[in-house]
Amino acid sequence: MTWIHLSVHSSYTDTPVTPFEVHRLEDHNPSFTATMGSIQGAERYAVVTGANKGIGFEVVRQLACRGIVVVLTARDEKRGREATAKLHHDHHLHANVVFHQLDVLDPLSVQSLANFIHDTFGRLDILVNNAGASGVLVVEEELKALNIDPTSWLSGQAVNTVQGAIKSTYEKAEECLNTNYYGVKRVTEALLPLLKLSTAGARIVNVSSLRSELKRIPSEAIRNELGNVEALTEEKVDAVLRRFLHDFKENSLEANGWTMMLPSYSISKATLNAYTRILAKKYPKMYVNCVHPGFVNTDLNWHTGTMTLQEGAAGPLKLALLPDGGPTGCYFYQTEVADF
């Protein structure tokens, strides 16, 4: 039996990656110098995390096709450069897509990206926080053998059926929370000074999940804590996550009302949604939203999803390109506002 690490809309691997320092892009991309004029003359600049494949890659492609200069980021430098080269070669987007390595777990890597954006563009208009991790190990052959309707699996209805094929560990839980919640905070806070300089009001898009919805948390107390937008603070969210990790370690998740289907992933996305609402209140001139992109054909479901990458990118793209006066502090189910 072979356990594999399951990543969600990200480029994360288990191979250690040396932090990528700020460098002159022309050293690695001879065409960069020739295109700097068009880059500096662009109206909008965007960053998409976890973008070497899947939804993130498609969001980069579609933003770039609209004339926006996009920084494609990935933890794995080789995969990120290959993805960028593909956009350059297949879609002729040399002037609109550049690569920068980003490990959201590493503060030095995050600061390196912020320095690069500052030195190259001077501001940031769009941030799509797409990178993420699932918090579980999966026996792929066993999960496939169960032949479960993937929609039933992801909605939580098949929680007991899949327990033998999906393994949660404390280490993976910590990694998941540090990626999906604290990683987003780390990146967003480092880029906020640049986002504040956006002339039209920055757009921040946090890619969430169906698993984030509060109705999926059994505990009414936890639902109320994360759902009371007037009382929400980052300190309260941190306290919720500390309790979750304590209960995980004590093997008391179910007894204390946490969801048992992808528990770490689910609470990481629920708290990400809460952080979205906190940010929206704190920065009323920005447009800050979170989105469940839909059941998309990606690595997460071994390409059994019913939606294409183009369809899955529709929600994040809508929020990245919101017109002035659009909604903020909202949760979107694909392209429509929904209840948290």
Residue 25 has pLDDT above 80, yes or no: no
Task: Note the pLDDT tens digit of each residue in 167-221.
Answer: 889 999 999 999 999 999 999 999 999 999 999 899 999 999 999 999 999 999 9
pLDDT for the residue 31: 38
Residue 27, both tokens: 């050293």
**Cβ atoms within 10 Å, residue 149:** 11
pLDDT for the residue 145: 73
pLDDT for the residue 275: 99
Query: Concatenated DSSP letters for 18-59?
Result: PPPPP--GGGT-THHHHHHHHHHT-S-EEEESS-SSHHHHHH
Q: What percent of the chain has pLDDT over 70?
A: 80
pLDDT for the residue 151: 64
pLDDT for the residue 166: 81
pTM, to two decimals = 0.86
Residue 299 has pLDDT above 60, yes or no: yes
Beta strands in 78-130 (DSSP E): 97-101, 126-129
Residue 134 confidence class, pLDDT cut points 50, 70, 90 = confident
User: Mean pLDDT over residues 287-304, rounded?
Assistant: 79
174 Cβ neighbours under 8 A, 6+ residues apart: 245
- The residues with which 69 forms a beta bridge, in sequence order, are 45
Question: Is residue 177 within 8 Å of residue 263, measured between CB atoms?
Answer: no
220 Cβ neighbours under 8 A, 6+ residues apart: 257
Question: Is residue 19 within 8 Å of residue 110, measured between CB atoms?
Answer: no
Distance separating alpha carbons of residues 122 and 194, to the nearest angstrom: 7
**Cβ atoms within 10 Å, residue 29:** 18
pLDDT for the residue 330: 99
Residue 137 confidence class, pLDDT cut points 50, 70, 90 = confident
Question: Is residue 131 within 8 Å of residue 268, measured between CB atoms?
Answer: no
C-alpha angle 125-126-132 in degrees, rounded to nearest 5: 150
| CATH classification code of 45-337 | 3.40.50.720
Distance separating alpha carbons of residues 334 and 293, to the nearest angstrom: 5
Phi, psi of 105 (to 5 degrees): -80, -15
Residue 160 has pLDDT above 50, yes or no: yes
pLDDT for the residue 302: 52
User: Mean pLDDT over residues 155-177, rounded?
Assistant: 82
pLDDT for the residue 147: 73
Active site residues: 265
Residue 300 confidence class, pLDDT cut points 50, 70, 90 = low
Average model confidence (pLDDT) for the chain?
Answer: 86
